[in-house]
Amino acid sequence: MRTKVAIIGGGPSGLLLGQLLLKRGIDNVILERRSREYVLGRIRAGVLEAGFVELMRTAGTGRRMEEEGFIHDGIEIAHGARMFRIDFRKLVQRSVVVYGQTEVTRDLYAARDAAGGEILHEARATSIGGAEGDTPFITFRQGGEQRRLTCEFIVGCDGFHGISRQAIPGKLRKSYEKSYPFGWMGVLSETPPVNRELIYSCSERGFALCSMRNENLSRYYVQCPLSDTPDDWPDDRFWEELKSRLPEPVAARLVTGPSIEKSIAPLRSFVSEPMRHGRLFLCGDAAHIVPPTGAKGLNTAASDVHYLYHALLAWYDRGDARTLEGYSARALARIWKAERFSWWMTNLLHRFPGQSGFDLRIQSTDLDYLAASEAAQTALAENYVGLPY
């Protein structure tokens, strides 16, 4: 098999890049190790930065997002019994869109099907070769058969556990990592959201987040020990704990119900440099992970897609290799800013084991300052809605 751009990974970043390239007549093939049903069944966050929204429009996949997505002009932050709002529209004249990652993926699949783009499902990439030359290739297994895909460029959108990052020689890679000593216990329920915008809560009992997918589908989280499992959190215990971490007026209007999905997510920060080796490029979780506190995971992948898409256009339209050569540096400059913001939000809102009285007073003072300072709120707002590409 041959193509121009081979993309490993059929999640949102791989599908989005593939669709953008197809719109410009650049042939590409996507290898996805899971079935389509599995990919569409994954439940993930859905807060989209302004830049992500614009990429969806450019890809021709924004119609349903614009019709069904929720425009959020701010977030609420609770600190004990008090709650204050960060007004994105007032502070930075931009907003975010809440639209589930599953729906983003569904829209991208539909567009690729309509365009005749090729996705090979249940195709597990096993090795990458020739990245330092002009004809790189991927070997993969599908249906018990070993196959080979030759191309001009390889893009690794295959996540933290994929093969793409490992294909960059170890002597050239440098990794930075921070693990957090807690996780998020998350529940999805067919109940109306407790608030029209997200609520981030810092309480004496730990962090909580009130989010949503649509008007009758809510997503809630509470900070929990890493040793916990979902079985440790029956529905009654979860709802009681969530209410205890919210201001009383919010807890009083919370509608509870049976959970339809329940999971615990660990929190960590991770960056691998560089994001390019020859004609192999990394994108999204293959190169970096952020804690979910700042809603940056899917959005950092989108910024990678933006930079790589324009670099590939420069190559195919003008034969300009400079933007491809500069991809890693440009992408990482923005990634590290997103890492800083997610780390800051995590430290601002969570309780850490072993925090001293001094640590707790500093955290409380930081929240008080944020509540009172327009400058501090503006800094949060411009990072949350997305720094410019």
Helix (H) or strand (E) holding 153, with range, is strand 153-156
51, 53, 54, 55 alpha-carbon torsion, rounded to 10° = 90
384 noted as active-site residue: yes
Query: Phi and psi dihedrals of 6, rounded to 5?
Result: -100, 125
Which of 12, 72, 79, 109 is an active site residue? 72
Which of 200, 221, 307, 309 is an active site residue? 200
Rounded (to 5) percent helix, strand, coil in the chain: 40, 30, 30
Strand 28-32, strand 82-87: pairing: unpaired
298 closest CA partner among 44, 59, 107, 80:
44
Which of 180, 292, 307, 350 is an active site residue? 292
* 9 φ/ψ sector (left φ>0, alpha ψ -120 to 50, else beta): left
Which of 277, 296, 306, 350 is an active site residue? 296
Q: In what order do the strands lie in the sheet with 137-142?
A: 123-129, 137-142, 145-150
Cis peptide bond prior to 274, omega within 30° of 0: yes
Strand 206-214, strand 199-203: pairing: antiparallel
Angle, to 10 degrees, between the axis of helix 297-318 and the axis of helix 50-58? 40
22's CB contacts (< 8 A; 6+ apart) are 28, 112, 115, 117
Report CA torsion sign: 227, 230, 236, 238: positive
292 noted as active-site residue: yes
Which of 221, 307, 309, 384 is an active site residue? 384
293, 295, 298, 300 alpha-carbon torsion, rounded to 10° = -90
Residues, the chain? 389
**CA–CA distance, 377 with 67 (Å, rounded to integer):** 29
Report CA torsion sign: 71, 73, 79, 81: negative
109 noted as active-site residue: no
Return the active site residues.
Answer: 72, 200, 292, 296, 384
